[in-house]
Amino acid sequence: MSAANASSRGRSPADVDLSVSLGALRLRNPILAASGTFGYGTEFAHLVNLNRLGGFVTKGLSREPMVGSPPPRLCDTPSGMLNAIGLQNVGVQAFVREKLPVLRKFDTVVVANVFGYCIEDYLEVIWVLEDAEGLAAYELNVSCPNVTKGGLQFGNDPVQVKEVTEAARKVAAKRPLWVKLSPLVADIGSIARAAEEAGADALTIANTYPAMAVDYTTGRSRLGSPTGGLSGPAIKPITLRQVWEARQAVKIPILGLGGIETAADVLDYLVVGATAVQVGTASFTDPKVSERLPEEVREALFEINMFTVNEIRYSFRAENS
Ligand SMILES: Cc1cc2nc3c(=O)[nH]c(=O)nc-3n(C[C@H](O)[C@H](O)[C@H](O)COP(=O)(O)O)c2cc1C
């Protein structure tokens, strides 16, 4: 008799409560679709029941529309995907005018991903969004070069992460504020603390890893740009460790993001301390993955006799004996 059969007699996977709280925000399940891999949500509405998602994060929104990078923008690598989209988007004004009215018809949590090239850019985008109905939170993408600081990425420097988060918190955002960290940093704990001290309500860990793919026969990049960002299964073990490191540094909720394809991947992130997760690249091969995974997580928790998501969170034991 399996463990589940022994002590969950009379109960079924339907009894597993998947709901989680990220500060004041309640999600029906801990799985959101990640920024840049789920468009503005509207493109997926004919394929995915948006009302069943934990939520989704929009494509990055900037002050002005952006045309993005030259093609090709995606390329496969043996265990992950490389992208150089160049943050193409319709701009925050068009998002509010054209996309949000459609999204308001759904009962789903919509998080706006925000980016810029100086602090004022971030604030401008949030100001426009503050006047609009239908958003649950903001996610600041800090993996962008700060043109006022010689092009150094915000996300590589705790001081800059603090400045942009503090400005967004104090000057602009009344909604919950998440900060999405860059993964390729020497000490993710110090960056996570900087965001927490500056007033972030949650952290998303993490973005893609700077990487390249070349064709030696032509001596050219396999993307339209020299470099791109690596995502997918290749990055999961690295990002998992970053989540665990950050968990020990901060108290605010963490959303784990990197290489999730299965229920086991989701639960691995919860075990090392994530409260929720996001799913990115996997949506390219299966657009319904974020709708399917909650049911699979329910089954997996039932199998190990757990009936709430909270029971498994941060159950990681560093001493392996
Ligand atoms: C095609 C593509 C576009 C992306 N665009 C954005 C974006 O606009 N803003 C952002 O914060 N992250 C963006 N990301 C990063 C993802 O949200 C996610 O952090 C990353 O892909 C790692 O998760 P995954 O391995 O599940 O894909 C993008 C990723 C991909 C693959």
**Per-residue model confidence as pLDDT tens digits over 170-179:** 988 899 999 9
Mean pLDDT confidence for 180-197 = 97
241 phi, psi to nearest 5 deg? -65, -40
Alpha carbons within 13 angstroms on the beta-carbon side of residue 56 total 33
User: What distance in angstroms lies between residue 194's CA and the mean position of ligand 1's atoms?
Assistant: 22
Mean pLDDT confidence for 9-24 = 94
pLDDT band (50, 70, 90) for residue 5? low
- For residue range 196-250, list pLDDT tens digits in order: 999 999 999 999 999 999 999 999 999 999 999 999 999 999 999 999 999 999 9
- How much is the pLDDT for 104? 96
The CB density around residue 164, as the number of other CB atoms within 10 Å, is 27
Cβ neighbors of 284 (< 8 A, separation 6 or more) are: 37, 81
| pTM recorded for the entire structure | 0.96
User: What distance in angstroms lies between residue 37's CA and the mean position of ligand 1's atoms?
Assistant: 6
Element (H, E) at 254: strand 254-257
- How much is the pLDDT for 150? 87
CA proximity to 146, closest of 123, 128, 164: 164
Q: Which two tokens stand for residue 146?
A: 């700060």
Specify the 3-state DSSP secondary structure of 50.
helix
pLDDT at 8 over 80: no
pLDDT at 97 over 60: yes
pLDDT band (50, 70, 90) for residue 320? confident
Mean pLDDT confidence for 33-48 = 96
Q: Which two tokens stand for residue 296?
A: 């699979």
* Ligand 1 lining (C-beta closer than 6 Å): 34-37, 59-60, 81, 83, 85, 87, 113, 141, 180, 207-208, 231-232, 235, 257-260, 279-281
Specify the 3-state DSSP secondary structure of 265.
helix
Q: Which residue has the tokens 């990197």?
A: 258
Mutate which of 35, 139, 238 for ligand 1 pocket (most atoms within 8 A of beta carbon):
35
Q: State the catalytic residues.
A: 144
Residue nearest to atom 31 of ligand 1 (CA): 281
- How much is the pLDDT for 67? 96
Mean pLDDT confidence for 299-312 = 96
Q: What is the mean pLDDT of the chain?
A: 95
Cβ burial, residue 78 (10 Å; 0-12/13-18/19+): exposed
pLDDT band (50, 70, 90) for residue 1? very low
SS3 per-residue string spanning 75-130: EEECCEEEECCCCCECCHHHHHHHHHHHHCCCCCCEEEEECCCCHHHHHHHHHHHH
User: What distance in angstroms lies between residue 190's CA and the mean position of ligand 1's atoms?
Assistant: 23
